[in-house]
A and B are shown apart, each in its own frame.
Chain A
Amino acid sequence: EPEVTQTPSHQVTQMGQEVILRCVPISNHLYFYWYRQILGQKVEFLVSFYNNEISEKSEIFDDQFSVERPDGSNFTLKIRSTKLEDSAMYFCASSVFRDRGFGELFFGEGSRLTVL
C-alpha cells in the first residue's frame, strides 16, 4: 500500500538554525499538507499546496516557514530560523480529491523537531 514517507524521523537543532523537513507524498495525490503537533496538543494545520503553489496557510505559517516541491516527488518544509516553540512533531500529508472535494488525508509518520 502506498505511504507518505518523511525524513528525518527526528532532528535536533540549535535555536536560530535553518531546518528542512522532507516528505514524499503518495504519487498520484494532488494536494500536499504540513501539520504540526506540539507534544500533548492538537494537530494544527500549517499549509496546503496544490499545483505548485500554496493554496491555504494558517497564522502559524509565518515568514519563517516556506514550502517547496523541488523535483516533482519531494515536498519540503523549511524553517528559516528555528525558535524553541517550533519544537513539535511535523506531519506531512497528501490527499486526492474525489466526490466534490472530499479527500482522505494520508499522513506520514512524522518528523520530530527538537530546538535547543
Chain B
Amino acid sequence: GENVEQHPSTLSVQEGDSAVIKCTYSDSASNYFPWYKQELGKRPQLIIDIRSNVGEKKDQRIAVTLNKTAKHFSLHITETQPEDSAVYFCAASRGGNQFYFGTGTSLTVIP
C-alpha cells in the first residue's frame, strides 16, 4: 500500500517568515494530494489540494508543489501569522476512497 512520510514533525517560525512542509509518497499511482489543517481540539479541514496533472497550485499565502518523478510534494506558507499555528497533514490518494495521511507537522508561529 501507499506510504506517506512527512517532515518536519515540528516547525517553529517567526511571524512573517515562510514555512515549508514536505511529504513523500511511495505509490506512483497516487494522483491526488490534499493538505489538511487541524487546529487544537478541532477537526482536520482541507486547506489546499493538488492533482497529479498539475505541478503547482497557489491560494493566497498557501501554495503546494508536486514533483511526480521524485514522488514528493510540499506545502508552502508565506507571511505566516499566529493563526497559522496548527498541525498540518499531507495525504495521498489514487482518487478513490482511501486517503493515506502523513504523520503531521506541528507548526508554531511565534509573534
Q: Footprint of B on A, CB under 8 Å?
A: 4, 31, 33, 35, 41-45, 48, 50, 55-56, 58, 91, 100-102, 104-105, 107-110
- Known A102-B32, A107-B45; contact A41-B97, beta-carbon cutoff 8 A: no
In the bound complex, residues from chain A placing their C-beta under 8 Å from that of B93 are 102
Give chain A's interface secondary structure class: strand
A41–B99 alpha-carbon span in the complex (Å): 16
A107–B101 alpha-carbon span in the complex (Å): 14
Contact indicator B44/A43 (Cβ below 8 Å): yes
Cβ distance B89 to chain A, nearest Cβ, rounded Å: 6
Closest 5 CB pairs of A and B: A48-B97, A101-B95, A43-B101, A107-B43, A42-B103
Partner of B43, one of A31, A45, A58, A91: A91
